[in-house]
Structure 1
C-alpha cells in the first residue's frame, strides 16, 4: 500500500524538514507487521513528493498471532498487504510521529503554516463508496478525486469493487493532513487489526481535536473508528458534543446577544425558574432530575425547598457541571444537604438507567440546542425509558423575538440554538409526544404576554396518565 504526499509550497523541499526524512535518502523502518519505506520520487524547489510504502508480512504476522491455534485460510489470503488500513495509521504514527504531532525543531515556523498539499492513497477500501468518501473529506476542506477499481478487468461483468485510488487536495498544515489520515483511513476500511479499548477512545479524541466535534459525520466516524463498541462510542460522542458546545461558546464575540443579555431587562430567567419551581412543587414531586442543568441555577432553587428530597443535575458539559458545583458550593454544604443533590455527566440522546425512577424531570431551555434529527432520541430517552410522572419543559417562543430591538431579524436568541419554534409548532410537537408516550400536556406562558406574539417563553407540563 502506498501513501504519497506532495506539495508545491516554495521551497517545496521544506516537506523533508516537516517529515524529518531527508529527500536524498531511502529509509526503511521495522514495524511489528513488516517494514515501512520512505522515499522521494520527486524533489525540486517547485514540487516535492514523499512516499510511505508498507511491506506487510502476512505470513509472519499470522504465525505470531495464532501460535498453536488452528490456522484459517483467510489469515493468509486477504487484502491486508495491498490496501490502506489501520496498518497505515500505525505506520504514520511511528514513521511520521513528529510531523503528526506538529513538531519540527529545525523549521518551527512552517509547522503552523498552511501548505498546498496533495495526498494520494493507493488503494483505499471504502465501505460506502465515493459518496461516503466525499461526505468525509469535503467538510474538512479537501477537493477529492476517486477512481473506483473493477473486481477483475478480464471479467467486467463482475462489476466494481469497493477499492478506490483516492487523491485529496487542500491547503492545510501537514500535521492536520496526517491527523485526518490517521483517523479516517481505518474508518473507510471499517476494520482494525488490533484490540480497541479505552486507550483507542483517547487516541481518537486527541487526533480529532479541533475538527472531529464539528464534522457533520462525527457519529459515523466515531462508530467505525471504535469498531461499533456501543459503550466507547457513546462516551466518545458525549465528549465530542461537549467539545462542540464549548467551542461555540468560546468563539462567541462580544457583539453577540445571548439569551441572558436579551432577557435581562425583563428578568425572564428568574421568572422562568420561578414558574418551573412552582410547577414542580405543585406536582408533589419528591425527586427531581434537571436534564441539561447547565451551571446549576435551577438546582440552587430546588435545593432551597425541603420538599425535594432527591435532586439530580445532568449535563453533557463537564465544564458546566464544574461551574454548577461551584455555584452550589457542594464542598461546603452540611452533610444532610449535600446528600440531597448530585451532579451527573451524561447525554440526553442515549438511554441511561440513571434517569429512571424520578417523580419529575425538568428540561429548561434545552431542546432548542439539539439538532432536529436528534429530538426523536431525546423523546424516547425521557418519555419512554426514563418515564417520570411529571415533565416540565420550556423553550423560546420564536414569535416573541420581534419584541427585542437588539435582535436582528431572522436570528435566534442564542448562537447555539438549532431551532426556535412558534407557539403552534411547540404545541404540535408536545401534543404528538404526549399522545405517543401516554402523557397529557398543558401549556403555560412564562413572562409578560404581548398581543399577537404571546409570551417570550412557552412551557409544557406533561403528566403521566
Structure 2
C-alpha cells in the first residue's frame, strides 16, 4: 500500500499504536527514575495485558534503572471488530470503515487505552511516593505517529502543548520513502519534553490526542462534555486554544460545547467560592504545600532585607522564578548538582530571551552544597529549601562548613519536612519518609537541636516559622529556620 497509509504503516506496523513515557532525572539528581513504575501502578518485572473493547493493550518497560526508566503502552487495534461493532460507529458495508488510519495513528483509540489502563495514575495520589504524585517531573513523551487534520491542523501540536509547558519536537513522516519527491504526508512523530506532574501529562494526552486527530471512533454523547471538564479541570479553562479543543474533542457538536462551557463556568465559580470559604474559616491559604513553602521563603527573605540571594539546590527553579519576577531581588544565583535541573530552570525562566539587563540579575551554576564555593561570597542570604534531608547525616558537617563557616552570609534560610506531621498523611505508610531519596526527616526538637548548635558555633541567632497546615499536637507540615548573623 502506498500514499498516506503507507507512510503510517511504515512507522507503526502490525496495526498497533504506541506511546512511551520516560523519566530521566539526570546523573546528579537525587530522584530515582524507577519511581515512575510506582506512580503508574504498573509492575516493571512483567508484561501486562489488558483486554479492551478496541483491542488488547500491553504495558511494559523497555528501560528500567534509577537513572532512566521508560514505560510503554502498546495498543493492538482490533480493526475488524471496530467496523462490525455499531457502538464504535461501524458500518461493515462501507469501504471507508475498513481502509483508514485508525489502527496506526494516535487518536481516541489510544486515549481510551490511556484512560482504562492508566486510570489510577491520572490522579495526584501515590501510596509509595505521595509527594511525587503532584510534583513536576522531567518527562519525555513519545508518540510515533500523529495526524493533525482539518483547516486548524497547521502547527496544532505546538498550539496545544506549548501553553502547558511542553517543549515540542514534531517531525513529518515522508509520504513514501521510495519516492522522496512526493514530499511529506500529513502524519508526523511527536516528542514532548517538560517538567510536568505525571497525572497532568496523562490527562492532557487523554484530551489532546483526539483533538489532534479531530475524530472519535465512537459516538459522542452527553457524557463526553463531562469527561472533558473532569480531565481538563486544572489546565483547560485558561488554555488559549480552549474553544478549539472543546469543538474538536466534542466532535463539533455545538450543544455539547455549550454544556462543557457552562460546566467550566460552574467549576470556576465553585472553586472561587470554596477558596474564599477556606481562607475565611482557616485563615490560611489553600495552596499546595510546595507553593506555600516558596511564598513563606520569599516573605522571610524580604523580612531580612535580602536583595542578593543564593538558592542552593534550586532544582527546576520554583523559588528562582518567583525572585525573577520581583524587582526586590537585584542579584540571584541558582545552584544545583544536576546540570539537567539547571537547564530546566533556564527554560522555565526563558533566560535566552531576556534582555541583557534582566540576564545580568540571574546566574545559574553547577555546584554542590557539600563543598566550599567562593562564588557564594558577597550575597545577603543563602536559601536551602528542602535540601538538607537529601544529605547523609554523616555529611551534614560538610554542609555546615561550606555555608556557615566559608560563605557565612548574613542570613541563611532552611526548610525541611517535620517528621511529627507525617502520620497525618493518610497515603503515607507508618515509618516511611515522604520521598524515596530522603536520608532522614527530623522532628521539631531534632531540627532545633541541630540548628541551635550550628548557630552557636558560627555566631548566628535562629528563628523558627511554620509552613503549611498546622496541627496542635504535630506542628506544621514543613519547618523553617531563619539564621541571622549576630550584628548583621
TM-score (norm 2): 0.49
CA distance in 1 between counterparts of 2:275 and 2:105 reads 40
Which of 232, 248, 259 aligns to 2:256? It is 232
Gap change, CA 1:111 and 1:73, over 3 Å in 2 = same
1:52 is aligned to 2:73: yes
- Superposed, 1:33-432 pairs within 5 Å as 33-65=54-86, 71-127=93-149, 128-129=152-153, 131-241=155-265, 243=267
Q: Is the 8 A contact 2:33 2:68 kept in 1?
A: yes
1:19 is aligned to 2:40: yes
Aligned length: 252
SS in 1 for 2:189: strand
Instruction: Give 5+ residue unaligned stretches, structure 2.
Output: 1-16, 26-30, 277-488
CA distance in 1 between counterparts of 2:185 and 2:129 reads 43
Cα deviation 1:11-61 (Å, max 9, x = unaligned): 000000011111121111111111111111111101100000110011133
Shift of the alpha carbon at 1:110? 1.8
Q: Is the 8 A contact 2:50 2:58 kept in 1?
A: yes
Aligned to 2:292: none
1:8 is aligned to 2:24: yes
Q: Is the 8 A contact 2:83 2:90 kept in 1?
A: no
CA distance in 2 between counterparts of 1:211 and 1:229 reads 22
SS in 1 for 2:113: helix
Shift of the alpha carbon at 1:83? 0.9
Gap change, CA 1:249 and 1:105, over 3 Å in 2 = closer
Shift of the alpha carbon at 1:102? 3.0
CA distance in 1 between counterparts of 2:90 and 2:199 reads 42
- Tell me the C-alpha RMSD between the 2 structures: 2.4
SS in 2 for 1:134: helix
Q: Is the 8 A contact 1:118 1:167 kept in 2?
A: yes
CA distance in 2 between counterparts of 1:88 and 1:241 reads 29
CA distance in 2 between counterparts of 1:162 and 1:249 reads 46
Shift of the alpha carbon at 1:152? 1.4
CA distance in 2 between counterparts of 1:251 and 1:223 reads 30
SS in 2 for 1:188: helix
CA distance in 2 between counterparts of 1:231 and 1:180 reads 23
TM-score (norm 1): 0.51
Larger Rg: 1
Gap change, CA 1:12 and 1:208, over 3 Å in 2 = same
Shift of the alpha carbon at 1:248? 7.7
Instruction: Give 5+ residue unaligned stretches, structure 1.
Output: 253-465
Gap change, CA 1:245 and 1:103, over 3 Å in 2 = closer
Q: Is the 8 A contact 2:83 2:92 kept in 1?
A: no
Shift of the alpha carbon at 1:108? 2.2
CA distance in 1 between counterparts of 2:101 and 2:159 reads 25
CA distance in 2 between counterparts of 1:46 and 1:111 reads 19
Gap change, CA 1:220 and 1:129, over 3 Å in 2 = closer
Q: Is the 8 A contact 2:84 2:91 kept in 1?
A: no
Shift of the alpha carbon at 1:244? 5.3
CA distance in 2 between counterparts of 1:132 and 1:184 reads 10
Q: Is the 8 A contact 1:92 1:100 kept in 2?
A: no
Structure 1 stretches (4+) deviating beyond 4 angstroms?
Answer: 66-70, 241-252
CA distance in 2 between counterparts of 1:69 and 1:11 reads 49
> Relative CO higher for 1 or 2, CA cutoff 8 Å, sep ≥ 6?
2
